[in-house]
A and B are shown apart, each in its own frame.
With several copies, the nearest count.
Chain A
Amino acid sequence: MPAVLVQYEAEIWKAIIETFAMVGASIAAAVLIGLPVGTLLFLCRKGKILENQMVFSVLNLVVNIIRSFPFLLLVVFLIPFTRLIIGTAIGTAAATVPLSIIAIAHYSRLVEQSLLDVPKGVMEAAISMGASVKEVIFKFLYVEARSGLVLGLTTSIISFISYSTIMGVVGGGGIGDFAIRYGYQQFKTDLMIYMIIIMVILVQIIQFTGTTVSRLIDKR
């Protein structure tokens, strides 16, 4: 192993763990909240089973507002909220809050889009069988859109990793911040390149897994 990696080994591990923590939290938020929000965005559209102009407009606006914020300012704006739920506004745990909010907004758009590609006939079959809204979602929509949902999540996760690199601002740490601090600000170019290689490997693994899973579950 190159000497510089040995020298910084402990810190690198720490950075990797921080990245996993931040990205893990974003994934959880994307799946637990972004997926329902995206589904609502789809179902409340004109002509869909929960058609509701009000709910659609509000959700749409909220998602747009989150996506409109320069990310740095979103982090700053959310500080009081972050402090409320995490107890502090600096550090890795605190960094997960703005990241998760962005994750929700980001993934919900991709979910909405995937669901729009489900053939109308499948929805009709579900409705004609008397499926409840919940059943339409879980037994039909998600089943038929699953490969798109997985690919969308893959794309999103990679974006979350990219967003996490900015979290150094509030002391979030992570590999990206490590690379920026040592490599960019202190000109330890070799260290920076190793960090980027780690990032590339991580992203490559995620993309490969996502592509493979989505292909395996696509029976259309």
Chain B
Amino acid sequence: GNGTETKENEDTKATPEKEEVTLKVASLIPPMTEILELVKPKLAEEGINLEMVVLGDNVQPNTALAAKEVDANFFQHVPYMEEFNRNNEAELVPIVPIYFANYGVYAKEFESMDELPEGAVIAIANDISNIDRSLALLAQHGVITLQEKTGPYYTKADITENPKNYKFEEVDLLMLARMYDDADAVVMTPAYASPLGLTPKSDALLTEGIENDFAITLIARKDNADWEPIQKLGEVMTSPEVRKFLEENYDETAIPAF
């Protein structure tokens, strides 16, 4: 697959049923990849060959999309996408939100937030939008107090009150789950918690619920957002099958956003 192929795709968009088109979608980990796998047969019926490109970090899927190497991606929430657009003069646009990854606070030794002792170490992800999200989650439940946002994100510098003197240790997103043994508490997405057998419903001390902007969203570019295969993809990803799949396999972990 390369750029020219993508262009051909665009040329053929008038007659998608007659010729098979290839739709390349970048993604990272389950359940994102599982949802894409699930809808693949349905798209095939429509003559759309869904090709999933699994990448290993959370910048490349956007870089690849902006460079037209893929036609869409599915791994991020809208604020993260906006940050990318701002910094890279890219024109990525949301197509449709799919699910809320119910961010939560987990602790191995403690049953509730109140038990967490003075000066406890809380591990959070080390990228700026997830730092923002982790702090926002804690602020939402009154664990800390944050001042008015100065930039697009909250940072540790925005903490005005931290009554129990928690220490925030920043580690790589992919490392969060490993920190469950090490830190007193970990703030992470269900995608990383589930391999540990943890679910937001039964194990999280705090969760962010669905009252937020952080739904994992199918993203495309401004120039192909209206392209029929993309729209089709959006449709099948918000179908009842996907809802059923999420509810059966990811109860409270990935809450459908459609």
User: A91's contact among B1, B59, B83, B174, by CB below 8 Å, is which?
Assistant: B1
A21 at the B interface (CB under 8 A): no
Residues of chain A with a CB closer than 8 A to B195's CB: 185-187
CA distance A168 to B60 in the complex (A): 10
Contact flag A90-B128 (CB < 8 Å), given A79-B178, A171-B170: no
Range, interface on chain A: 20 to 34
Query: Nearest residue in A to B173 (C-beta to C-beta)?
Result: A169
Contact flag A187-B183 (CB < 8 Å), given A90-B64, A169-B171, A171-B169: no
In contact, A187 and B53 (Cβ under 8 angstroms): no
A87 at the B interface (CB under 8 A): yes
In contact, A91 and B169 (Cβ under 8 angstroms): yes
Residues of chain A with a CB closer than 8 A to B128's CB: 185-186
User: B55's contact among A88, A171, A180, A186, by CB below 8 Å, is which?
Assistant: A171
In contact, B59 and A185 (Cβ under 8 angstroms): yes
In contact, A184 and B59 (Cβ under 8 angstroms): yes
Range, interface on chain B: 35 or more
User: A180's contact among B30, B56, B169, by CB below 8 Å, is which?
Assistant: B56
Least distance between A88 CB and chain B CB atoms (Å): 5
Q: Is the interface of A mostly helix, strand, loop or mixed?
A: helix
Query: Nearest residue in B to A165 (C-beta to C-beta)?
Result: B56
In contact, A168 and B2 (Cβ under 8 angstroms): no
User: A89's contact among B4, B29, B172, B178, by CB below 8 Å, is which?
Assistant: B178
CA distance A55 to B182 in the complex (A): 36
Q: Which residues of A contact B (CB under 8 A)?
A: 72, 76, 79, 83, 87-91, 166-171, 177, 180-181, 184-187
Given A169-B56, A171-B55, 6 further pairs, Cβ under 8 A: A72-B57, A91-B169, A168-B172, A169-B55, A170-B55, A186-B128
Q: Which residues of B contact A (CB under 8 A)?
A: 1-4, 26, 29-30, 53-60, 63-64, 67, 69-70, 83-84, 87-88, 123, 126-128, 169-172, 174-175, 177-179, 181-183, 195-196
